[in-house]
A and B are shown apart, each in its own frame.
Chain A
Amino acid sequence: MAAAKTRASSFSRNLSAAAPSQGPGLKCGPNGLVFLSSGIPDLDKILGGGFPLGSLVMVMEDAEAPHHMLLLRNFMAQGLVHNQPLLYASPARDPRGFLGTLPSPAASKDNKSYETDPDQEKGLRIAWQYKKYFGENQLNFDGQKGSLSLDGKHEYSNEFDLRKPLDRHFLNRQHVDCVSIQDSPDLSVLRDRCSTFSSQFPRNDGSVSCAGRIAIQSFCAPQCAYSNMEWDMLSFIRSLKSMVRSSNSVAIITFPPSLLSPSFCKRWQHMADTLLSVKAIPDEDKDLAQLLTGYQEMVGFLNVHKVARINTQVPVILEATTFSIKLQKRRYLVLECLNQAPVDGSSGTSYGTSGSCSGSSKAGNLDF
């Protein structure tokens, strides 16, 4: 048998928090991977750092709500803020229009205002909530006193303010490319564009200088001419994955799974390195409101089905795979674990209070 097993492993986890030589947009991770941010700090944490270079992310859409657009917007905006070239493909006639809806990084003084929230209970909850951010922010503040983040450029992962559009100067640079996939009869045009794009960031053994992002929205949308060519679409995804693997880029594809046959949907799911899905939350669902705390603030659910396993065979088992998508102050996208409201065991009915997670003001028999 191989003798290597008896000695202690010479591999040590390389969990350096920052990789200053590569710039703020990239971070080193374990197994020789380099991550870039998804644009949503909470999602980066859940996924163990972000999206690894060379991976393919797939997001399953929900026809009832456009939450996948939130993910796409943040992903694209984060890339532009970090000067990472972007290729964006969508079934719209003029994809450039979408760029106008990209959010701007939040000025971090806005983030700090949370801690002074007057509401006692809310204040407690938020203080706990944001303690994890507070430590990180402290690090950033100490690091660069001069260039405080009105710009947001120096952080690996920015909070984006969804109500403030991205500065024009980010969009006017050379490295934003848009493709409309509505009229292409087959996928050769898109394939060629992706190929040229990803060849700008060849992967070699040296350090990563620049990374690219490819975002493809609603890939099998019915208005696209190729949308009934199942094997062709699959073949495209496979070649995109190979392209991305051999370059320093990340590709994200969103697609509505209901438009694919079940067998093909499974094939697409197996293709993904990281697989997410978004779900709409029905308005005014009384049962859900009783079951979950903070229901009123929730916009939707995000499910993490698969986390990228490149260079390793160990699967990632998350403590929770379903998260609620909330818009804090209607501006900032946060993901939270679901908190179940306390159940009154004696009478068999549940009572939930929205807002506080630490029990309600009602007296009652709490039977856990």
Chain B
Amino acid sequence: MNQRSSNLLDEALGLDQTIEPWPLRGRAVVIEDRVETSGSFVLHHLLKRSLSPNSSNVSIFIAFAQPFSHYDRILRKLGCNLVLQRDNSRFFFFDMLMLQCPGGHEGITPEGGLIALYGKIHKTILALPEVSRKNVSIIIDDLSLMEVAVNGSSDYVLDFLHYCRTLTSEFDCSLITLNHEDIYSSADRPTFLLQMEYLADILIKAEPLATGLATDVHGQLTVLSKSMNYGQESSRNNTSNFHFKVKENIVECFYPGSRG
């Protein structure tokens, strides 16, 4: 078991110490990626960590990008059985692939559709037993598709995210989202992206290497962790940068040049 390899990512996120209480509680994690380098492996990794057998963490997965079968296969290779977790009420999968607002049939307004989604999440959390309510992760894959689902009304998406943020303070949920940075950086006003980055407690960027493609190194990860204000300690941001290689059953993270 190659525990060492993914430790850099876990270290940066504080996941290498204890799993209980979930270190990402009450924090918003924003993952950014690009066309050349996909960041969904970070989502898979965080999902796997949150469903670790040592914790009572519950994950609510809101999927706009891929159907359940895709995640199921990937997580199985990572050593996590999503079907089992779903049956044990530790994993809730909301398939949003067909969500369309304004809807053709039901006539849902963009705002209405997202409000309904929020309501569903809230209801799911309330239905959980007291002990699990404190350890919920809401995972969204991915935000740019949520914008498409509401036909471009990014304001509603931001509202939705702010509502989810209230859940992080009310229930200590963690919010993990994936978005594509290059969509916004090529726009005139990258407002949405800036709002997301402002919202984030932890920002994880997956980027290609400056030198191009390589079979040994798939890209670089930059983890920016805004530390919470502990009172006497001045708030300090922690940044780590390292390279990664994605495999079927693990993500190997290593410092540049230390591969060998």
Contacts and interface: CB of A to CB of B under 8 A. Distances in A.
A3 B78 CA distance: 11
Interface residues of B, number: 50
B52 interface: yes
Contacts of A231: 148, 151-152
Contacts, number: 108
Contacts of A9: 77, 248-249
A315 interface: yes
A1 B52 contact: yes
B184 A263 contact: yes
Contacts of A318: 213
Nearest to A230: B152
B79 A266 contact: no
Interface stretch (A34-42, A156-164, A233-241, A328-336): A233-241
Interface string A254-282: 00000001110111011000010000000
Nearest to B37: A315
B222 to A, nearest CB: 18
A49 B184 CA distance: 34
Contacts of B66: 245, 310
A306 B41 contact: no
Contact of B149 (A31, A238, A267): A238
Interface stretch (B67-75, B112-120, B127-135, B195-203): B67-75
A309 interface: yes
B35 A270 contact: yes
A313 B72 CA distance: 12
Nearest to B215: A317
A313 B183 contact: no
Contacts of A310: 66, 70
A312 B37 CA distance: 14
B67 A245 contact: yes
Interface in B54-74: 54, 66-67, 69-70, 73-74
Given A5-B249, A263-B183, A270-B180, A312 B73 contact: yes
Interface string B168-197: 000000000000101110111000000000
A267 B213 contact: no
A257 to B, nearest CB: 12
A259 to B, nearest CB: 15
Nearest to A191: B104
A358 interface: no
B97 interface: yes
A238 B148 contact: yes
Contact of B100 (A239, A265, A267): A239
Contacts of B144: 267, 270
Given A230-B152, A266-B182, A270-B144, 12 more contacts: A2-B78, A2-B79, A5-B249, A239-B98, A245-B66, A266-B180, A267-B148, A310-B70, A312-B248, A314-B247, A315-B37, A317-B213
28 contacts: A2-B52, A4-B79, A5-B249, A32-B73, A188-B104, A231-B148, A231-B151, A234-B148, A235-B100, A235-B148, A238-B148, A246-B97, A262-B187, A266-B180, A267-B180, A270-B183, A305-B35, A309-B38, A310-B66, A310-B70, A311-B69, A311-B70, A311-B73, A313-B40, A313-B41, A314-B248, A315-B38, A318-B213
